[in-house]
Structure 1
Amino acid sequence: MSKSLLEQLPGIVAAGKRQAAQVLEGLEGRNRVTLQTRELVIPSKDSVAADLFKRADHETAGGDIAAGNADLNRLIYGDNLLAMAALLAGDEANPSLRNRIDLIYIDPPFDSKADYRTKVTLPGATINQKPTVLEQFAYSDTWADGTASYLAMITPRLILMRELLSPVGTIYVHLDWHVASYVKVVLDEIFGKDNFVNDISWKRSHAHGDSGQGASHFGRVSERLLVFGKGPDRFWRPPYEPYTDEIIKRDYKHIDPDSGERYRLMPVDGPGGAAKGNPYYEFLGVKGYWRYSQETMQKLYDQGEIVLSSTGRSLSRKRFLRDARGTPVTDFWSDLNRISPTSKERLDYPTQKPEKLLDRIVSTSCPPGGVVADFFVGSGTTAAVAEKTGRRWVVSDLGKPAAMITRKRMIDLDSKPFLYQAIGDYQVEQARSTLGRSFRIGDLAKVVLDLFGALPLPPEENVNGSLGRLPNTRTLVVADSPSKLTTISTLRRAQGYRDSKMGGFDKVVVLGWNFSAGIGQAIAALDDDNLEVLVIPPDLLDRLKKKGGAEKLAGSVRFASLQYLEARVVGRKEVADGEELRLDLTNYVLLSPGAINLDDKNRASLQQVMNDEPLALIEYWAVDPDYDGEVFRSVWQDYRGNTENDDDPLRVVTTAHLQLPKKAGQRRVCVRAVDVFGFEAEVVIDGVEVD
C-alpha cells in the first residue's frame, strides 16, 4: 500500500532541504551557477524621430549604461532554481542578492488540467505549438507523482527564496485549492509559523465558477495568497479601500456650515484614565481624562475641530472625510477584477494576473525604491507593476514565451534599461541533476553520440570522449561540451579533427548545446560543404531523466539545424544633430521546422509561411550600432504587436532608422532577432562607413 501524502510530506521537505543545502554549499565553488547577459535592453520602440541617446535615464548614467551595473533590473530565462543560485552567488559584475530582496511574489503552476499550448498567429496561418518538456515542467502538473512531485519541486525553491529575502522582506505565494493547504505546511516549516501573516482569499470578480448543471460542489471562484514575513520587522504599509456611498452617508452625516464638507464626530476622552497615562484637565467647562495634551486640544479647537455637545457635558472632534484613508483591507479581496477579454491590459497569456492585484501587494509590502522578485513571472505583471511604482525588479521564467512577452511588455512601458539574461551553464546543471553531481563531460558526450547513432572513436583517438563516427560512412561526429558556447573556433577545431583523425574523414557533424549568436555567420564564412552543425535538443536531459535512459529514447530524438538571419546597412549619413543609420532585414531562415514540437498539419502550415514570407516569423529584433563583441546593447527594438508605426500586429517593420550621436571612424553594427518560437539569430556588420 502506497504512503499517503501526509506520510510522504516529512520526507519531501527533508529532501528539499538537502537539495537547497547542496545549492547553497556550491555558491563559492568554481562550478557555481552563473548568468550570461544576452542583451542590455535600452527600451526604444521603433521611431524615426527618437534620439535614443538623450533619454533622461541614459543621461543620468553619464551617457553610458554598463551591463554590469548592479542597479539594473533583470529578466532571466531559465530554471528558477538555477537562477536563484546564480543570484545568491553573485559575480564580478553583480553582487549577491542574498538578504537584499524586499518582496517576492510567485504564482507557480497549480492547475493540473491546464493546456499551455502556445498559439502563434502568422499571416495566413495559426500554429499551435505544443510545449517543450521544459515548459511542461514549469506550466503544468505533468509529474508522475502528482502533488507529491509538485511539493518536491517547490520546497527547495522556497528555501532559496527565504535566503534572498531582506530582513524586512515578505513573500506572497499565489495558489488555488489543489495544493494551497499542503504548501502552507511547507511554508510553516521554512519560514516559521510565527512569521505567518495572512491567508488571503482573492475572489476573481465577475469570474465564472466551475459548477455547471448537476455539479456536486459550490462554484470555485477564489484563489489564495499565503503571506509570510522573513522576520518580525517586515515592511508593512496597510492598504485601504475607498468608502462606499453607504458608509459615507452613515458615518459622515454631519456637514460643516462653513466649508460644506462632510465629517464625523470622534471621542477625545482618554480611555483608561490615569492608568493609561492620559492627562486630566478642564476644557470648555468639561473636566476629564483626555487623549490629547491641553496644548494639542487648544490647537484643535482653534482649527475648529473640537465640538462641545448640546448638553455641555462632553467633547468630540470633527474628522473630515477629506482626511479619511478609507476602510482597511481585510484578508478577503473581492474588489479586484480579473482581466476581461476586452481589457487593454490583456496579453492572451493563460495565467496573467491583473496589475491592480500586484499593485496592492507591492504597495503594501515593498518599500519605495525596494527590490521585487518573481520567479514564475509569466506575462510580466510583477515587473510591470514594480516598474510603474518605482521599485527595482528581478524576474525569471523557464518558458520562452513568458520571457519574450515580458521583454516586449517592458519595452512597451518604456521602462528603465534592463538586462535579459540566461543561465550560463544550464545543461551542465541539468546533467548533474540527471547523471549525478560527479558526472564527466565525456559521459554526457557518449550519451549524445549514442542517440545520434554514432560509434565512439578508439580511446587513443577520442578527445574527452567527444568524438564518434557514423557506421559504414566516413563521417566524423563531434559532441560539444554543454559548459561552453559552440563558436567558429569550435568549428575550425572540428575541421581539423576531420582531416587528421584515423587517416581523415570526408565529413564532420558538430552537435552543440549553446551557440554564439553569430554562429550562422560563422558557418557561412567557412563555406564548407563537408561541415554540418546541428542543435542538441535543449530538453534532452529532462527527457532522459523522465524516460530512465538513452536506450528508451533511441530513434525519437531530433537534432535540429540552425536558423540564420540576413540584414544589411542601407546607409549611414551625417545629419544636423548627429548621424542617421538605416538597416534592412532581408531574410530569415528557420532551417529545421521538424525540430519544433508541432503536429504534421501545423508543420505544413509553418512550411508554407517560411516559403512565402520568411520575415513574418520574426517576433522581435533589435540593433546595437556599436557592438563590442561581448554585450549586445539593444538601443532600438521593434516587435510584433507594436503598431505605432506600421499598424500591422502580425509583422515587424523591416527597416530600422536610428538617430545617433556622431562617431569618428567605422561602426560595427549587430542585429539580433528572435522568431515566434523563441529561436535567436544574429548578424554582425563590420566596417560601416559614413556615406
Structure 2
Amino acid sequence: MSAWLDQVFCEDALEGLHRIPDGSIDLILTDPPYNLGKDYGNASDQQPVDDFLAWTEQWVDAALPKLKENGSLYIFTTWRSAPEIFVMLKRRMTMINEIIWDRRVPSMGGTVRSFTSVHDTIGLFVRRKDYYFDLDAVRIPYDAETKKARSRSIFIGAKWLEQGYNPKDLWSVSRLHRQHAERVDHPTQKPLEIIERMVKASCPPGGVVLDLFMGSGTTAVAARNTGRHFTGFELNPDYCRILAERLAEPPPAEQLGSDPKARGRSKVRATDPGSDPGFPAAPPKKRAVRKTPARAVAPSAAPNNELE
C-alpha cells in the first residue's frame, strides 16, 4: 500500500502535496477557510482579500495535477468569495453545479441591515466530459404516498420510482449544533451526511479522496465509512488529534461499503514523528482546541453571522 494512502498529514498542504503522485486522486473534496475571520489557531482565515484569492489560486494549481483525468472537485465557499473563486476554477475546469447548502439556521437575531445569511455555496467542477458520477448511489427514496400516486401502469417498474429521485442542487441539511452527537470541537464542522453524498456520487468504490484542509476529519470519516481511501492535510495539531480520535472509532457496520478493511486503514501519521507530539495507539482524551489570539480584522459593513 502506498505510504500516503489512508493518511492525514499534520502539515501545510502546499508543503505536503509532493507526497501524492500526479494523476492518483479520484476526488478532491475540500472545505478551505472562507476568509471570514474565524480562529483556526492561525491566521489562515484572516487575510486581505487579494492575498486570500491569490493563496486560493496557489493551492488549486498545486492540487489539480494530482487529480485523475475523469476526476472531480468539490469546494465549499461563501457567497462573498464564490464569484471570484468559481471564475478562477472555470478557467481550469468545467463547472457542473453550484450547490446551495441550506443550513436550517433559525431566524433569531442577527443583522438588521441585510437579509440573514443561512447558506454555504459549493462548487462541483470536472476535468472532462466522462467524469465519474454515480447517481444511483445517492438517489433519495420516494415516500409511500408518492409511490401510490404514481401507481398507473406507465409507472410500474420505472427505475426512478423504485430507486428514488435525483438530489436537487439545494441541500437542506441542518448544521451541527453543539448538542449534536456528531459535533466535535471545530468551529466549522460539516455534516457527515453532506460529505458522504459527495463521496458516493463522485468517487468510485475503492477510489481515493483528497482533502487539503481536513479540519475535524469529516472527509476522511466519510471515505472510510463508504469503502473509499483518503488522504489529506491539516495544519492545526489540535484538529489532527480530534480527527485521529474520530478515525479510531469503528464505522457503523452498515457503512463499510465494498471495503471490509476500512476500519483497519483508519490511522493518522504526523509529518515528522520525531518532532510531533504523536498519535498513540490508544485514542487520547479529548481536549479543548488551543485558542491563539486572532489578528485584528477590519469590521465588515454588516455583522458576520455566517458559519463556514
Write the deviation string for residues 49-88 of structure 1: whole angstroms up to 9, x where unpaired: xxxxxxxxxxxxxxxxxxx74474111111111111332x
Deviation at 1:189, TM superposition (A): 1.4
Q: Is structure 2 residue 36 aligned with structure 1 residue 112?
A: yes
Do the aligned partners of residues 621 and 362 (structure 1) sit closer, same or farther apart at CA in structure 2, a change above 3 Å counting?
Answer: closer
Q: Is structure 2 residue 121 aligned with structure 1 residue 224?
A: yes
Which residue of structure 1 aligns with residue 60 of structure 2? Answer: 158
Which residue of structure 2 aligns with residue 684 of structure 1? Answer: none
Say if 1:210 and 1:220, in contact at 8 Å, map to a contact too.
no
Do the aligned partners of residues 173 and 72 (structure 1) sit closer, same or farther apart at CA in structure 2, a change above 3 Å counting?
Answer: closer
Which residue of structure 1 aligns with residue 9 of structure 2? Answer: 76
Which residue of structure 1 aligns with residue 167 of structure 2? Answer: 329
Which residue of structure 1 aligns with residue 300 of structure 2? Answer: none
Write the deviation string for residues 250-291 of structure 1: whole angstroms up to 9, x where unpaired: 323xxxxxxxxxxx321xxxxxxxxxxxxxxxxxxxxxxxxx
Out of 380-389 and 318-327, give the one that drifted further.
Answer: 318-327
Q: Is structure 2 residue 23 aligned with structure 1 residue 99?
A: yes
Structure 2: which amino acid aligns with 1:326? G
Say if 1:101 and 1:371, in contact at 8 Å, map to a contact too.
yes
Q: Is structure 2 residue 34 aligned with structure 1 residue 186?
A: no
Q: Flag structure 1 segments of 5+ consecutive residues without an equivalent.
A: 1-67, 88-95, 117-130, 253-263, 267-316, 425-514, 519-618, 623-635, 642-649, 651-674, 678-691
Write the deviation string for residues 586-629 of structure 1: whole angstroms up to 9, x where unpaired: xxxxxxxxxxxxxxxxxxxxxxxxxxxxxxxxx9862xxxxxxx
Distance (Å, rounded) in 2 between the aligned partners of 1:190 and 1:343: 38
Do the aligned partners of residues 85 and 320 (structure 1) sit closer, same or farther apart at CA in structure 2, a change above 3 Å counting?
Answer: closer
Structure 2: which amino acid aligns with 1:344? A
After TM superposition, the structure 1 = structure 2 runs for residues 664-679 of structure 1, keeping only pairs within 5 Å, are none
Do the aligned partners of residues 621 and 318 (structure 1) sit closer, same or farther apart at CA in structure 2, a change above 3 Å counting?
Answer: closer
After TM superposition, the structure 1 = structure 2 runs for residues 104-183 of structure 1, keeping only pairs within 5 Å, are 104-116=28-40, 131=41, 135-137=42-44, 140-141=45-46, 143=47, 146-183=48-85
Q: Flag structure 2 segments of 5+ consecutive residues without an equivalent.
A: 252-262, 291-308
After TM superposition, the structure 1 = structure 2 runs for residues 473-622 of structure 1, keeping only pairs within 5 Å, are 516=274, 622=280
Deviation at 1:368, TM superposition (A): 0.5
Do the aligned partners of residues 182 and 242 (structure 1) sit closer, same or farther apart at CA in structure 2, a change above 3 Å counting?
Answer: same
Out of 147-156 and 376-385, give the one that drifted further.
Answer: 147-156
The structure carrying a bigger strand percent of its residues is 1
Say if 1:77 and 1:399, in contact at 8 Å, map to a contact too.
yes
- What RMSD in Å do the two structures reach over aligned CA positions? 2.9
Write the deviation string for residues 413-469 of structure 1: whole angstroms up to 9, x where unpaired: 3732435131x6xxxxxxxxxxxxxxxxxxxxxxxxxxxxxxxxxxxxxxxxxxxxx
Query: Which gives a bigger RCO, structure 1 or 2 (Cα 8 Å, sep 6+)?
Result: 2
Which residue of structure 1 aligns with residue 156 of structure 2? Answer: 318
Structure 1: which amino acid aligns with 2:169? D
Say if 1:620 and 1:639, in contact at 8 Å, map to a contact too.
no
Structure 2: which amino acid aligns with 1:243? Y
Do the aligned partners of residues 517 and 161 (structure 1) sit closer, same or farther apart at CA in structure 2, a change above 3 Å counting?
Answer: closer
Distance (Å, rounded) in 1 between the aligned partners of 2:232 and 2:116: 33
Distance (Å, rounded) in 2 between the aligned partners of 1:621 and 1:396: 15
Larger radius of gyration: 1
Distance (Å, rounded) in 1 between the aligned partners of 2:213 and 2:279: 24
Structure 2: which amino acid aligns with 1:74? Q
Do the aligned partners of residues 183 and 209 (structure 1) sit closer, same or farther apart at CA in structure 2, a change above 3 Å counting?
Answer: farther
Do the aligned partners of residues 364 and 322 (structure 1) sit closer, same or farther apart at CA in structure 2, a change above 3 Å counting?
Answer: closer
Identity fraction in percent: 27
Deviation at 1:111, TM superposition (A): 4.4
After TM superposition, the structure 1 = structure 2 runs for residues 197-212 of structure 1, keeping only pairs within 5 Å, are 197-205=96-104, 207-208=105-106, 212=110
Tell me the matched-pair count. Answer: 277
Distance (Å, rounded) in 1 between the aligned partners of 2:216 and 2:222: 12
Distance (Å, rounded) in 2 between the aligned partners of 1:329 and 1:392: 24
Do the aligned partners of residues 156 and 209 (structure 1) sit closer, same or farther apart at CA in structure 2, a change above 3 Å counting?
Answer: farther
Do the aligned partners of residues 341 and 83 (structure 1) sit closer, same or farther apart at CA in structure 2, a change above 3 Å counting?
Answer: same
Deviation at 1:208, TM superposition (A): 3.2
Alignment TM-score, normalising by the size of structure 2 = 0.81
Structure 2: which amino acid aligns with 1:110? Y
Say if 2:142 and 2:161, in contact at 8 Å, map to a contact too.
no
